[in-house]
Homo-oligomer: A and B are copies of this chain.
Amino acid sequence: MAKRPYFYQDLSWPELRDLTAADPVIVLPVGTTEQHGPHLPLATDYLTAGTIARAAVEQVAPRALLMEAVPYSFNEHHMDFPGTITIDVHTILDYIAAIGTSVAHHGFRHIVLFNGHGSNVPFLDVAARMITNRANAVCALVSWWSLLKQEDVAWRESTFPGGMAHGCEAETSLMLHIKPELVEMDKAVRTIDEVQTSDHIWWDIMGGSGVFFQEFFSRNTTTGVIGDPTVATAEKGRQLFDVATARFAAFLDEFRQREIRPRKDLHAQPEN
């Protein structure tokens, strides 16, 4: 494997220094270490985020640089399942914000958190704000599913909402494409009927309820899955991967052009 000119941590400090002139977007994949049912590895979320991010950055490099993924984040609601690692609320916020402000300290001005873990969303939303507010840079949050359109998943077989929630048709398909050696399809179990139903509360990567609610996973599933992984295929995964990559690459190119305007002070101006 050769040095990847788009990979932040493959570079030396003088190389990084010289790259600031090109004003690349810095992409930080954030995953987690979390149970994903009996058929998927704990690594799922940082593998999906990291792999899609790499593919997108490769498409737009040198206009973007990819950082090493963060493999540990908040997961309290999954702790009844062996193997899950959770970082507490305040720590994960400060950890991500510290990475972003460090990057900005070195002169990069556009930063993207690229997310692979559903429950990371509010944390990374807050962390992105911390970075934007504190640093001389702007920071956006993109989850790999957040740029998808309904037409992108025309192949969908599982029910909406709920069929694509966790360790599901979508995540399993993606992993079959990215890391088939880590998927054990014979252990995949459709897990939808255990989940408490509600007119107001649901989650699906293609659209969640207006009500935000997350309780301990073990209240709603004994497999760890929510959704239907049995209909997953590598081909669906390839399509998901390609479209997520393309959309993210397009975003990167637009975001890099985003003007960072000066703030305006709307206060009455003091005399001295």
Interface string of A101-124 (1 = CB under 8 A from B): 011011100000000000101111
Interface string of A82-118 (1 = CB under 8 A from B): 1111111111111100110011011100000000000
- A102, closest chain B residue (CB): B85
Whether A142 sits at the interface, judged by CB under 8 Å, is yes
B40 touches A12 (CB 8 A): yes
Interface residues of A (CB under 8 A from B): 1-3, 8-14, 16-18, 20-21, 33, 35-43, 46, 67-72, 76-77, 79-95, 98-99, 102-103, 105-107, 119, 121-126, 128-130, 132-133, 138-143, 146-148, 181-182, 184, 187, 196, 198-201, 210-216, 218-220, 222, 224, 250-251, 254-255, 258-268, 270
Copies of this chain, whole number: 6
Which B residues lie within 8 Å of A81 (CB)?
A: 13, 266
In the assembled complex, the Cα of A52 lies from the Cα of B13 at a distance in Å of 24
Question: Which one of B40, B103, B181 contacts A1 once the chains associate, using CB atoms below 8 Å?
Answer: B181
Which B residues lie within 8 Å of A33 (CB)?
A: 8-9, 67-68
- Report the minimum CB–CB distance from A102 to chain B (whole Å): 4
B266 touches A216 (CB 8 A): no
In the assembled complex, the Cα of A99 lies from the Cα of B74 at a distance in Å of 10
Q: A41-B3, A83-B106, A128-B212 are in contact. Are A72 and B95 (CB under 8 A)?
A: yes
Interface centre among A67, A79, A250 (most CB of B within 10 A): A79
